[in-house]
């Protein structure tokens, strides 16, 4: 077991990791930028170290500051959370060079899955279905044209180093290929430092279904059912649930088989997620693998009764342990709404500032993961997630009723939030019926 874990992150996820460490009896070190000094993760950790200026490049993304903080505090492991350095193979190697355990997959796995076109190739050769498209990176738009001709329009041009919905362009016809290709390339270059692009068939209104995995060093890979993350705005998830209303036990078995096969083919260790697109015919295709704990992991924890972050930490100790079959089975239903400090009336414009008053909901089946408190100043420097509201029920109907009730109880004063937006989505007949796809929000918002 680790002597001390440093959490290389902030906000709700830093708090989440501290909670897991506390229950495992591991002392924790929080790090913070100067603007995060009064953040709850700093107060809840056993120790804390300032790692730099508000700009993430000078603090949460600055590897050497994090390694120095670990060395000064005597932490022997680093949990990266999500975002920031969580998917940086270079950072993993740097940790290893300093004798610090990175709580996550091996550097090779992160590098392989981080290159999305290579990840697709790897999965395809393991027998996992992938979206039809280019074999790897394409070098120019003429190649894009000929592949698009072959697979048929619409197609989607994607950044191989992509993430967070950036560097993606849907192309409907040949005459707009060149302009879209160049725009995607420019965005990919400025966001990821690499203009490598690949191309695939753009599926019409698919569902986004992902399988939660945990690989152990003994070679076992466990799957904890699926999550449906089809409620997205500009490719960013806003509501997630488990199980998916569109997944039958038979389909679940196939999804899990494909995900476990894919993860085993790269000897996957740690928590991770394989994302699929599911079409109306019930066919699914690998999209990407996230080699970290995800924002939406709590819905899976609620329906399986597990603590994925604890398991993720234990998986990195190298000790082998068994996970009971019952722990991977879904029971009941859970939904998560991301409460962002954004104004849904103003195109989801970020709304940083001081939270003047706060009432967090509670009662049966409600879980909140949040670093917010009354008097907390949301800095403008990072993402706008201030709370994850999770409702659990014995079935979807009960989970939805509880979510309704909890959103009504949730009061945030001083900043705008996505609470009213969630209330509206929850009243939509298609959402209530579970009849949604990744195009739902665009139509809903237009």
Query: Which residues are identified as catalytic?
Result: 292
- Give the residue, chosen from 60, 102, 198, 202, that forms a contact with ligand ADP under the rule CB under 6 A: 202
Tokens representing residue 54 in the block: 């508000």
Secondary structure class of 152 (helix, strand, coil): coil
A 10 A CB-CB count for 347 gives 9
Instruction: Say whether residue 78 binds ligand ADP (CB under 6 A).
Output: no
Q: Cα separations (Å) of 299 from 227, 239, 287, 325?
A: 8, 10, 21, 18
Q: Which stretch binds ligand ADP (CB under 6 A): 61-69, 120-128, 198-206, 367-375?
A: 198-206
Number of residues that bind ligand ADP (CB under 6 A): 19
- Among 85, 69, 24, which residue's Cα sits nearest to residue 313? 24
Residue number, 7 or 266, with CB nearest to ligand ADP: 266
User: Residues with Cβ < 8 Å from 165, sequence gap 6 or more?
Assistant: 234, 235, 236
Residue number, 201 or 333, with CB nearest to ligand ADP: 201
Instruction: Say whether residue 216 binds ligand ADP (CB under 6 A).
Output: no
Instruction: Say whether residue 165 binds ligand ADP (CB under 6 A).
Output: yes
Instruction: Say whether residue 338 binds ligand ADP (CB under 6 A).
Output: no
Q: Which stretch binds ligand ADP (CB under 6 A): 119-127, 159-167, 330-338, 356-364?
A: 159-167
**For the stretch 272-298, what's the b/e string if a residue is b when 16 or more beta carbons lie within 10 angstroms of its beta carbon?**
bbbbbbbeeeeebbbbbbbbbbbbbbb
Instruction: Say whether residue 54 binds ligand ADP (CB under 6 A).
Output: no
Q: Which stretch binds ligand ADP (CB under 6 A): 200-208, 251-259, 307-315, 422-430?
A: 200-208
With residue 271 as reference, give the H or E element that holds it.
strand 270-278
DSSP 174: G
106, 81 contact by CB (below 8 A): no
- Residues in 254-283 that interact with ligand ADP by CB under 6 A: 275, 277
- Residues in 5-44 that interact with ligand ADP by CB under 6 A: none
Instruction: Say whether residue 382 binds ligand ADP (CB under 6 A).
Output: no
Strands of 117-206, DSSP E: 155-159, 169-171, 197-201
Give me the least distance between CB of 105 and ligand ADP, in Å please.
Answer: 17
Residue number, 235 or 346, with CB nearest to ligand ADP: 235
Tokens representing residue 187 in the block: 């965005």
Give me the least distance between CB of 207 and ligand ADP, in Å please.
Answer: 9
Collect contacts of 25-31 with beta carbons under 8 A, ≥24 apart.
Answer: 26/1, 26/2, 26/313, 27/3, 28/4, 29/4, 29/5, 29/69, 29/70, 29/73, 29/75, 31/6, 31/7, 31/59, 31/60, 31/65, 31/66, 31/69
- Give the residue, chosen from 288, 296, 301, 336, that forms a contact with ligand ADP under the rule CB under 6 A: 288
Instruction: Say whether residue 197 binds ligand ADP (CB under 6 A).
Output: no
> Cα–Cα distance between 340 and 358 in angstroms, integer?
14
Q: Which stretch binds ligand ADP (CB under 6 A): 13-21, 181-189, 196-204, 351-359?
A: 196-204
Residue number, 73 or 160, with CB nearest to ligand ADP: 160
Instruction: Say whether residue 164 binds ligand ADP (CB under 6 A).
Output: yes
Instruction: Say whether residue 131 binds ligand ADP (CB under 6 A).
Output: yes
Instruction: Say whether residue 438 binds ligand ADP (CB under 6 A).
Output: yes
Residue number, 413 or 430, with CB nearest to ligand ADP: 430
- Give the residue, chosen from 62, 106, 169, 208, that forms a contact with ligand ADP under the rule CB under 6 A: 208
The DSSP secondary structure of 374-420, one letter per residue, reads: TT-EE-TTS--EEEEEEEEESSHHHHHHHHHHHHHH-EEESS--SHH
69, 31 contact by CB (below 8 A): yes
Instruction: Say whether residue 69 binds ligand ADP (CB under 6 A).
Output: no
In the bound state, the residue with its beta carbon closest to ligand ADP is 438
Instruction: Say whether residue 362 binds ligand ADP (CB under 6 A).
Output: no
> Cα–Cα distance between 391 and 33 in angstroms, integer?
32
Residue number, 155 or 387, with CB nearest to ligand ADP: 155
Interface contacts to ligand ADP, rule CB under 6 A = 131, 156, 162-165, 200-203, 206, 208, 232, 235, 275, 277, 287-288, 438
């Amino acid at each position: 077991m680790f002597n001390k874990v440093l959490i290389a992150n902030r906000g709700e996820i830093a708090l989440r990791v501290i909670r897991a460490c506390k229950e495992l009896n591991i002392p924790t070190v929080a790090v913070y930028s100067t603007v995060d000094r009064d953040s709850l993760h700093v107060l809840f950790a056993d120790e804390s170290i300032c790692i730099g200026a508000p700009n993430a490049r000078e603090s949460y993304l600055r590897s050497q500051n994090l390694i120095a903080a670990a060395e000064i505090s005597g932490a022997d492991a680093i949990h990266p959370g999500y975002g920031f350095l969580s998917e940086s193979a270079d950072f993993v190697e740097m940790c290893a060079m300093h004798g610090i355990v990175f709580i996550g997959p091996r550097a090779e796995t992160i590098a392989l899955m981080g290159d999305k076109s290579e990840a697709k190739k790897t999965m395809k050769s393991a027998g996992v279905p992938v979206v039809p498209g280019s074999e790897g990176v394409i070098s120019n738009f003429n190649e894009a044209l000929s592949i698009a001709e072959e697979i048929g329009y619409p197609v989607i041009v994607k950044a191989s180093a992509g993430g967070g919905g950036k560097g993606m362009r849907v192309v409907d016809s040949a005459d707009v290929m060149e302009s879209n290709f160049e725009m995607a390339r420019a965005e990919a270059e400025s966001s990821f430092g690499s203009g490598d692009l690949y191309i695939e068939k753009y599926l019409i209104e698919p569902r986004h279904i992902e399988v939660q995995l945990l690989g152990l060093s003994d070679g076992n890979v466990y799957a904890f059912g699926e999550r449906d993350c089809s409620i997205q705005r500009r490719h960013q998830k806003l509501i997630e649930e488990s199980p998916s209303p569109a997944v039958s036990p038979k389909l679940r078995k196939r999804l899990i088989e494909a995900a476990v096969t894919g993860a085993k083919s790269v000897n996957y260790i740690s928590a991770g997620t394989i994302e699929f697109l599911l079409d109306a015919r019930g066919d699914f295709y690998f999209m990407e693998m996230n080699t970290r704990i995800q924002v939406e992991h709590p819905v899976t924890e609620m329906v399986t009764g597990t603590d994925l972050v604890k398991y993720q930490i234990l998986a990195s100790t190298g000790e082998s342990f068994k996970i009971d079959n019952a722990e991977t089975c879904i029971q009941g239903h859970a939904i998560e709404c991301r409460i962002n400090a954004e104004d849904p009336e103003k195109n989801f414009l970020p709304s940083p500032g001081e939270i003047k008053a706060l009432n967090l909901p509670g009662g049966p089946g409600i879980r909140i993961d949040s670093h917010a408190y009354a008097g907390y100043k949301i800095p403008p420097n990072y993402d706008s997630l201030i709370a994850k509201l999770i409702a659990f029920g014995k079935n979807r109907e009960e989970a939805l009723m509880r979510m309704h009730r909890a959103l009504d109880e949730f009061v945030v004063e001083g900043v705008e939030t996505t609470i009213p937006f969630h209330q509206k989505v929850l009243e939509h007949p298609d959402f209530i019926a579970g009849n949604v796809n990744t195009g739902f929000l665009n139509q809903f918002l237009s």
